[in-house]
Amino acid sequence: MNGSRRRPGSRRIASFGETVFATYTRLAQEHGAINLGQGFPDFDPPSFVLNAYREATTGSQQYAPVPGLPALTETVAAVHGESLGRQLDPVANVQVTVGATEALFAIMQAMVDPGDEVIIVEPFYDSYPADVVMAGGIPIYVPLEPTESGDWSLDLDAVRQVCSDRTRLLLLNTPHNPTGKVFGAEELDALIDLAESFDFHIVSDEVYEHIAFETHIPTASRPGGWNRTLSISSLGKTFSITGWKIGWAIGPEPLIQALRGAHQWISFAVATPLQAAAATMLRQGADDGYFSEVRDLYLAKRERIVRGLSNSPFRPLVPAGSYFVIADSSALGYPDDVALCLDLPKRARVAAIPPSAFYSEGHRELARHLVRFAFCKEDEALDRAGQRLQSLN
């Protein structure tokens, strides 16, 4: 159109398609389907969150400092310091980011050199490989295996086999999207041992830390874990405000400094009034027992969706954490998960995500009989979706 013969995008992004969340939310809208695809709550956040938001309109509306608004970095340091049993310095050990998404991108930019390898557990949250590739790194995949008991196991020997002196990082996610796996102490210890032996670092994405139905163990709380780990969290899931995009990383000073070196050129600083509100709600949430309320809310929603699915052709694998459930869809006889998820919004007026989007190209076969439903939705929507899926019997 403008006469240029150059392709618009760089080689680096040439392999990227559209994120599945955009694709399947659009499909849900087209068919008026209940959206159990993209993971965002369809209900309002608690009133103390909205009150904190209103209060922040009267405070500063100008740039925050690069590490984050002091009120928020201090609160993050205090709240995570309590759960780690360690004194955290609000500036040396905390970096506020534009959601967990920016933390992940900035960490890769900050720590990965071209040709470095980053081990990714699959299925993975969909931005991980793109973050590694945009930094010039090479993603190396290790699959989780579903077990008879409905749990997912990580083959630690398989992880060991891909470790080498080229390994720069291991990207972990606990509680895990999309399987709901909550990593146990032994698994975390074994991964920390590998990080020590091969001298790499761990990035532990813990955005679902408060949506855990088994005990969530922060990776950095394990012996040897703190010095090796950048831990990531964000407000979106815990406070039902995915649109805010306020997140943070915590870790030892040299790793936070490296991350900050990249972050300052990516976003420089994060929305000041939202950080002010975040500080208030995080402190209040930690003091008032809100975190266990969130867990109980999602425990009840998990029971609800599992009940709905159990009377349908889908066989759910009960998740130990997160607000997602993976189900086996073999009984419906679709050729693969994409074919199912493209048809479901029209056929049953329910949208879901094909988990093959969370696998590397060579491993997509592992997901062909699976489907992911999000249950961060009103009870009524979960019940109606259950009925619609039961009509496929």
Q: How far apart are CA 144 and CA 31, in angstroms?
A: 33
Range list of H helices, the chain? 20-31, 47-55, 70-84, 99-111, 127-134, 156-162, 185-198, 225-228, 253-266, 272-287, 290-310, 337-347, 379-390
Edge-to-edge, what's the strand order for the sheet holding 370-374? 315-317, 324-328, 370-374
In DSSP terms, 140 is beta-bridged to 119
The nearest distance, CB 70 to ligand GLN, in angstroms, is 29
Question: Where in 132-151 is the site for ligand GLN (CB under 6 A)?
Answer: none
Between residues 242 and 360, which has the closer beta carbon with respect to ligand GLN? 242
272's contact among ligand PMP, ligand GLN, none, with CB below 5 to 8 A by partner kind, is: none
Contact footprint for ligand PMP (CB under 6 A):
99-101, 125, 173, 177, 205, 207, 234, 236, 242, 245, 247
Q: Are 118 and 198 in contact (CB under 8 A)?
A: no
Residue 177 near ligand GLN by CB under 6 A: yes
> What is the DSSP annotation of 44-60?
PPPHHHHHHHHHGGGS-
Between residues 72 and 211, which has the closer beta carbon with respect to ligand GLN? 211
Quick count: other Cβ atoms within 10 Å of Cβ 154?
Answer: 20
Q: How far apart are CA 266 and CA 185, in angstroms?
A: 35
38's contact among ligand PMP, ligand GLN, none, with CB below 5 to 8 A by partner kind, is: ligand GLN
Q: Which residue is nearest to ligand PMP (CB)?
A: 99
Q: How far apart are CA 196 and CA 17, in angstroms?
A: 36
Out of 23, 38, 93, 109, the residue judged to bind ligand GLN by CB under 6 A: 38
The nearest distance, CB 102 to ligand PMP, in angstroms, is 7
The nearest distance, CB 135 to ligand PMP, in angstroms, is 17
Residue 21 near ligand GLN by CB under 6 A: yes
247's contact among ligand GLN, ligand PMP, none, with CB below 5 to 8 A by partner kind, is: ligand PMP
387's contact among ligand GLN, ligand PMP, none, with CB below 5 to 8 A by partner kind, is: none
Write out the residues near ligand GLN by the rule CB under 6 A. 21, 38-39, 177, 374
